[in-house]
Amino acid sequence: MEFSAPEYNADIAMDTIEEDANKMTPMKLFFKDKSVFLTGGTGFLGQLYVEKLLRCDVKHIYLLGRARKGKSAEERLKNTFTGMHFIKLFLHDKNYLDRVSIIEGDMGKLNMGISESDEKELIENVQIVIHAAADVRFDEKLKTLLLVNLRGTREILELTSKMKKIQVFTFISTAFSHCVRTYVEEKFYDSPIDPEIMIRLGEEFSNNSSEELEVLTERIIKPWPNTYTYTKSLTEELVRRYGTKIPICIMRPSIVISTHEDPVPAWCNNIYGLNGILVACGLGVLRLLPIQDNNIGDVVCADFVINSTLAALWTTHEEHEEKKKLNNQVEKDPEIYHVCTSTDRPVSWGTIAESMGNLFKQYPAKKVLWKHTHNIVTNKFMFTYLTIWYHVIPGLITDLALKIAKKPLRVMPIYRKVQRFMVALSFFMKVDWRFDTTNMKRIIQRMTPEDRDFFPSDVRRYSWSAFLYDYLNGLKIYIGLESLDDAEKAKKKYKRLEIMHLFILCAYYGFHILIVTLLADKIGVFSYIKNSLIENYEFLKNPQLVTK
């Protein structure tokens, strides 16, 4: 199957957009002319939230963003919110950036570090809050994440509770916030500790240079595997406590990859999660995968997360209004919605590795560094041993050759980054999780057919086998920044690498055979075999011979 870069016919696209705009649906009516406060708006998911909200004709989007010296707000908006994934929006509204503004602030500071005038504007105008900002680094210090992820969310909630027109708030969590369980329902679980206590702990240690908290981190977060998932579990409890003040819902997406189809197929702009692993595999950099190949790899396309969030916001508001009409004052926890595939569209890690591996060989990247091979290794000792042979030694030899050739590229820094990445993600590839999606299915049932088409939220529409070709294209175009017109050149280069790989394999196995041979000779294995053969030969030659 041949690939082609995404192409758009402007006339057809405009007709489709005008047709969509004329179809006012319940969800579109809800978002139309609303003012939205969005945190994390410049990130991968954030850009998609902005694009879809603007296509829903929201009145204005306020983005929380850090100050950037030397760049005006207008320049920052143009640099971030343009590109292939904004084509539909551009055809819908050429002046869409007029409806976006940046509120300067920092999630790690009290009150998010925003000015009084900005705070007043948000309080007076905002109706919808989407809190998607978070520090997602698995190896970040606990005190940092306690301030950014936990306290930062409390500051957002405090601000939201002051907003005069607020209608609904959503917090973007993760399906792995309670990864200590293998079956996770769409409900709250007991928090490991009071989140307010941990906020005070983070504040205490942020004011001094003591590393005591870091020394105790592993003991504090146990059995959570990292500080990220631990602080997410605490944050959910914090959000739950504000459910009596604000209409709230929580989204728990699993491992997010590129878009499926909305606004364009397979768009992505980062190498976090599975995207980074597959890019490294496709380039021939990563050759060892510490996965359980029969376990389900719960990966979900980004547009399902975006559209599910918007559907959950609409549903939360509608249900809140229905309760008000019925004077129903019964308090209950906010609803939680999983955006996951393990229950409805499961695919194993082994299938993902094998199917993408076949594509990497058939349609190699132009920037490929070596022949693609993936080896599934679950034993810790073997993984470490093979890392030396498959990553460290080839990396050192390649860097030496590049240095002699006076080329700037170095492979070892890439290997070190990939290795850290793999260590962080390996936990999520070794456990077989299942995530309940009952609440999410209830939302989909509530949506009209037109809303289901405009806000595709049902992961049952997704098929890994049908999607993976687009996914490979997306990784090449948007991350590799490659043109698909050079496919033949890439294939020729890959053929040369395959021949080189064959020679390396011969040398590799030849070396191991030599080592084994020398060791066997050292301990007398060959002498023993030789004597045994002689004795057996003599016995067969003269069976009457009795040896003592």
Q: Are strands 434-435 and 183-184 parallel, antiparallel or unpaired?
A: parallel
CA dist., res. 540 & res. 545, Å (int):
9
CATH of 10-267+307-349, one of 3.40.190.10, 3.40.50.720, 3.30.420.40, 3.30.1490.390: 3.40.50.720
At a CB cut-off of 8 Å and minimum separation 6, what does 471 contact? Answer: 257, 258, 266, 356
Cα–Cα distance between 391 and 506 in angstroms, integer?
17
pLDDT of residue 101: 95
Using alpha carbons, select from 102, 442, 56, 493 the residue that is nearest to residue 263: 56
pLDDT of residue 413: 84
Residue 276: the pLDDT is 87
Q: Which two tokens stand for residue 305?
A: 């997360």
**Cα 62 to Cα 49: distance, rounded to the nearest angstrom:** 12
Instruction: Please give the model's pTM, rounded to 2 decimal places.
Output: 0.88
Pull the structure tokens for residue 432: 């077989």
Q: Which residues of the chain have pLDDT under 50?
A: 1-15, 17, 548
* Cβ atoms 292, 429 nearer than 8 A: yes
Residues with Cβ within 8 Å of 77's Cβ and at least 6 positions away in sequence, in order, are 97, 100, 102
| Whole-angstrom distance, CA of residue 526 vs CA of residue 88 | 73
What sign for the dihedral angle of Cα 12, 18, 24, 28?
positive
Domain range summary for the chain, segments of one domain joined by +: 10-267+307-349, 489-548
Closest CA to 172 of 235, 224, 120: 235
DSSP letter at 108? Answer: T
